[in-house]
Amino acid sequence: MKPITVPLALPECGEEEIRAAAEVIRSGWLTTGAKTFEFERRFAEVVGARHCVAVNSATAALHLALEAVGVGPGDRVLVPVHTFTATAEVVRYLGADPLFVDCDRETFCIDAALIGSALQAAQSKSGPEKVKAILPVHFAGHPCPMDGIMDRSADLGVKVVEDAAHAFPAVYRGRGSKRAMDNGRTIGSIGDVTCFSFYANKTITTGEGGMLATDDDAVAKRARVMRLHGIDRDVWNRYAEPVSQWAYDVVAPGFKYNMPDLAAAIGLEQLKKASRFRQRRQAIAQAYLDQLKDIPGLVLPRPRCSMEDHSWHLFVVLLEEKDTRNGLSRDGFVAGLKERHIGAGVHYIPLHRMSYYRDTYHLTPEMFPNSEWVFHRCVSLPIFSAMTDDQLAYVIDEVKKILG
């Protein structure tokens, strides 16, 4: 097959997004305003949350969420070690400390048992931990087992803040759950707060952006204030009303995290296409599963949820070192893809390998055997809604050649 360039990810934006952005530019109001509030309302309807607060990144949403649920200096937050640094760094923003949790070897998510092991290990070293929150990551778009996590949070008396940067739209179905999740709950309607990403490579995009979803009135109110300098009124309300209401109060030293209307307008158009985007990613994932299943040494995803409940933000395969022919390593496989102009990623270099977390918290690979095992084997193949059939066929063909 003739060489084709296939990026790891690519946003799918059309004339609708261009027109929406142009409309905002022509309106003369570019920052947070009517489009942002409409995006919040519509997104809340889709995920089944009472409130949504639009911000400029998922990192901002996570920071605001933890601040709003009361995380502060001296607290601990249970955080997966197999994640991007943003999940843990927001804990440090607040002077709290992450308590790292190993991942499951198949889903790469955390569960109640792994949380229990992390707590037990921490208590054996330093006594009872002052845990304030659990921060599960729905890795690659695969929902974490939320019934067990919610039960564990209730036992501990702590809040659950979900990192759903990969997981829009996704659904969790419990198994004999006490929390009425057997028939399915949309990610965004389960934990105390859920945080989504609209970064350029995510399932829908605003270029840069994020959303905080919650049913908690107090959390939503606090997040709205803290996203804009701790001011008690949005700028839209102060300056866009028929009679300018210039007076405002600063009730806390807040942050600059608001989403502008320019981004929200793009988000509104992307939201209309979200279901179609997810269906296309599922079709790509199914093609990979069907056509790469017989390659020795290649381990494909084994989701514990249905194909329809997974958001398929990432498609992560594993290379079994003992079975891979010709001594081809994971890095050699990635190099082979690169030579063929195929994008690939490693999600993720675990946080226990990052010098800051390793040195600050005295972490070692032996403490996180599952994450360490996954890290040495994992590769993310291209998956994005704009991926053409020719690109998909090319990736499948070249993976077979490299490994076969």
SS3 content of the chain, % helix, strand, coil (to 5): 45, 15, 45
- 206, 57 Cβ separation under 8 angstroms: no
Q: How many helices (H) does the chain have, and how many strands (E)?
A: 13, 12
Tokens, residue 73:
């200096």
221 labelled catalytic: no
Of 202, 256, 273, 293, which residue is the catalytic one? 202
- Output phi, psi for 319, to 5 deg: -100, 115
Is the peptide bond between 169 and the residue preceding it cis, with omega within 30 degrees of 0?
yes
* Nearest C-alpha neighbor of 215 from the set 197, 189, 196, 195: 189
* Nearest C-alpha neighbor of 214 from the set 85, 48, 100: 48
Q: Which amino acid is at 128?
A: P
Using a 10 angstrom Cβ sphere, with 0-12 exposed, 13-18 middle and 19 or more buried, the burial of residue 169 is buried
* Nearest C-alpha neighbor of 193 from the set 168, 166, 223: 223
Which CA distances in Å does 322 have to 56, 294, 336? 44, 16, 19
Active-site positions read: 202
